A and B are shown apart, each in its own frame.
Chain A
Amino acid sequence: MTKTLPSLGLITVLALTGCGGNLDSDDSGTAAAAYPERAVTLLIGQDAGGSTDLIGRALADPASTDLKQPITVQNRPGANGAVAAKELAAAKPDGYTIMVFVGSLAYITPLAVPADQAVDINNYEVVTGISQDDFVLIAHPQTGFTTVKDIVDAKRPIKFATTGVGTGSQLTQTLLFNQAGVDATAVPFNGGAPALTAVLGGQVDVAAVQLGEAKQQIEAGKATPIVTFATQRPTYMPDTPTATEAGYNVPVQQSRAIVAPKGTPKEVIDRLRTAFGKSFADQDYQTFNAERLLTANEVDGAALLQQWNGSLSTYKDLVAQHKIDLSGK
């Protein structure tokens, strides 16, 4: 973390980063064997301070110790990571530019944006999977909802908050209420925190947010968990059923992976995977995962592609089957 840099020093650093970015010599052909010879840039497509950013930073430290080169974390927020993904695609495939890629960009956003803006994960090399984040459906205690059946039996139109259009929060709830035959209106908010506030303030009936975001309020009894959308009950919430157990087919998760540009040499990918393996084994990182209720998904590139491509086709089918339009038009 660079949080303690005094501002004068920062000015110098800013000036240096401002003009030192693209001076590297062209040696990608012979570089693979000696990799890494200099700092590796880790792009993050989300704002500093968010879940993805924190995960990237938690991984960077132990991995850079193993690589014996610094890993520079750079945030390029925009369009759920599409801005960073575009930059990564244009970067030289030499292993010096990699990115923390969010799964929703690969398998949910394409359902909501025009085809020319959709990002295809198959145009990148996957270094390794990282972890999965589960969504939980929460309700304001005053609604009296504790199960999906309660919502169905209420026989009234409900309002649900989502964390935005083209997010897992929207997809999970749209699929659930569609399958349950509930007359539900989506109210999109900008991120997890405002969606959670809308439930706490009673402005909406329910919302689906990531487990880690709702943990505190659930423990305080200010929000009632109804179902999680995990494939099996997360160890952190053993008493809350999954949507599958409740009888609905909504297997939606947020997932993250380390990704490199297409054409990065296999030796470089393997070297990076070894380095991030050190991070996964790191005690501090494991504590971090437990605190944020993240489930490890440290699979290799091939397995991850299979997961994500599978998710995309599953969601495409489900969305088509239930005639859902995520773009809300």
Chain B
Amino acid sequence: MSEVIDGFAVVLEPTNLLYCLVGVVIGMLIGVLPGLGPAATIAILLPLTFGLEPVTAIIMLAGIFYGAQYGGTITSVLLRLPGEASSVVTVFDGHALARQGRAGTALGIAAIGSFVGGTLAIVALTFVAPLVAEFALDFGPPEYTALALLGILLVSTISSGGRLRALTAAAIGLLLATVGRDDFTSAERFTLGNLSLADGLDFVPIAMGLFGLGEILYNLEERHRTVHAPATVANVWPSRTDLKQSGGAIGRGSVLGFFLGILPGGGAVLASLAAYALEKRRSKHPERFGNGAIEGVAAPETANNAAATSSFIPLLSLGIPANATMAVIFGALLIQGVTPGPQLITENPELFWGVVNSMYLGNILLLIMSIPLVGLFVRILRIRATVLAPITVLITLVGAYTVNNSVFDIGLVIAFGVLGYLMKKAGFDPGPMVLAFVLGSLLETSLRRSLLLFDGDPTGFVTRPISGVLLAVLIAVILLPAAQLLRRRTQAAPPATAAASLTGATQEPGPAPAAEAEAAATTPATTTTADRTIRREEPHP
């Protein structure tokens, strides 16, 4: 327990406090800006963390991740522009509430829910991660083989953009992981005789290219939007009725988000969708959803924060990144010379507890900032892409060079940036590719090590308890979607409804006429401007 308290001492060091603040502010900013997501931002900023202490670096990068969950809400509610994928469902009820003149309430509930979800998840993380790490030494090559396999499979099946595309991307990621000198025979594989490829492709330039540069290029295609700052948000404190209505949603969202965050391939996006669907299914008046139900804001906003936090568990306790953002943070730890794994908590307690405890503080900072600074953050949307994009590209390329002082890496970033852009254009999510790349070398080396240990007998995987259980879960994961598919055919299942309402809301021509009239009556100027903005955006979702 003293290590937990020492962790607070680490957080309270002025440098760490400063970088926690820097992290959450950056997170909030990129949360507001549609396009640039937390994975991209963290990838771009990776090289800058090189000069920092490991704990300081990860505190800042973690802050970006959960800070983005707060920021994404603001534009969803006020402008119907989800800043983050994890805030897409917040648009439905959040913006409906804004049209009813209750934007403040929506933002207030979202901030409270985010805070509660985030904090509960940290408390759970504090207790769960050391439990997992207790088994650290029992995690040998066979267990890592099973975990890596499970991770890759889950990521590819859950990812957005279709299962076939995700599996294709993951397969390419696995192929990329084989480049380099074979760890077991020192034979050259796909190195084309180039010494820079002898140790394989480096993760950092791949992530910076696919996520960072790829996303910047893709966003350049978007039409320039004019955004007007909305009116001041009044009455942030939700009424007692609002709190009563959303209390349950916040509780359920915390739990659901926590578990979906741990799941490899899960994370904030999935958690927000699932939490919204759950509330809608449970509600006695599902027709209120989409027309300003406060639970429709509370549930997804709570869940995405809980998931953002809990997705640190598999990374910090097992060294397995659960989603794309965690994969980038995995890269950040490697740059710092820290190999995330079961040994992390015992060998590096100040890093582990420093990062975990910084999240309490970060959430408090975000709660304080998110309400009064709303207007300021929205104004950032006015920065033109023509200004922002070149600066970001410059930071990306200079940063890519500095990690290994290698010009070759700049070339890699550009190559993978172009690939990432083409993938996005073709509807491929680069996430599964990056994760499969990270887990691919782990999978291959662990599998081959295991077979050496088992004298080539594959039944060894099943007879060891931990790897046996993991493989059973793996089989369940393969069979479950098939079973669901069968059930879905017989009855209309809720997840399908959620997906339908998601696509429905972005495609429907406009808000309900009655609500629009009401909104126009209460806050004429701003709401109509915002609505106009949305209509202009409509043909270009």
Contacts and interface: CB of A to CB of B under 8 A. Distances in A.
A48 B337 contact: yes
A79 B404 contact: no
B158 interface: no
B139 A187 contact: no
Contact of B51 (A5, A15, A78): A5
B452 A165 contact: no
B449 interface: yes
A201 B138 contact: yes
Given A50-B337, A76-B404, 18 more contacts: A3-B51, A4-B15, A4-B51, A4-B53, A14-B47, A17-B405, A18-B398, A18-B402, A49-B337, A75-B405, A78-B195, A78-B404, A79-B181, A82-B198, A83-B196, A117-B198, A203-B453, A328-B184
Contacts of B47: 14
B183 A188 contact: yes
B37 interface: no
B248 interface: no
Contact of B186 (A15, A49, A165, A194): A165
B448 to A, nearest CB: 9
Interface in A93-148: 112-114, 117
Contacts of A2: 51
A189 B185 contact: no
Nearest to A50: B337
A190 B183 contact: yes
B187 A327 contact: yes
A25 interface: no
A193 interface: yes
16 contacts: A3-B52, A3-B53, A5-B52, A10-B50, A18-B398, A18-B401, A76-B406, A78-B198, A78-B199, A79-B195, A83-B195, A165-B184, A185-B455, A187-B453, A188-B183, A201-B139
Interface in B132-159: 136-141
B399 interface: yes
- A interface, size bucket: 35 or more
Nearest to B181: A79
Contacts of B49: 7
Interface in B146-185: 181-185
B464 to A, nearest CB: 10
Contacts of B401: 14, 18
B48 A328 contact: no
A47 B453 contact: no
Contact of B405 (A74, A188, A198, A202): A74
A200 B341 CA distance: 15
Contacts of A188: 183-184, 449
B395 interface: yes
A203 B141 contact: yes
Contacts of B336: 49
Contacts of B138: 201
A185 B49 CA distance: 41
Ranked nearest first, the 9 interchain pairs of A and B with the lowest CB-CB distance are A49-B337, A203-B140, A201-B137, A79-B198, A5-B51, A165-B186, A328-B185, A7-B48, A14-B402
B445 interface: yes
**Residue of A74, A166, A188 contacting most chain B CB atoms (<10 Å):** A188
Interface in B435-456: 445, 449, 452-453, 455
A114 B195 CA distance: 13
Contacts of A194: 339
A157 B455 CA distance: 10
A113 B186 contact: yes
Contact of A187 (B182, B186, B399, B449): B449
Interface in A254-313: none
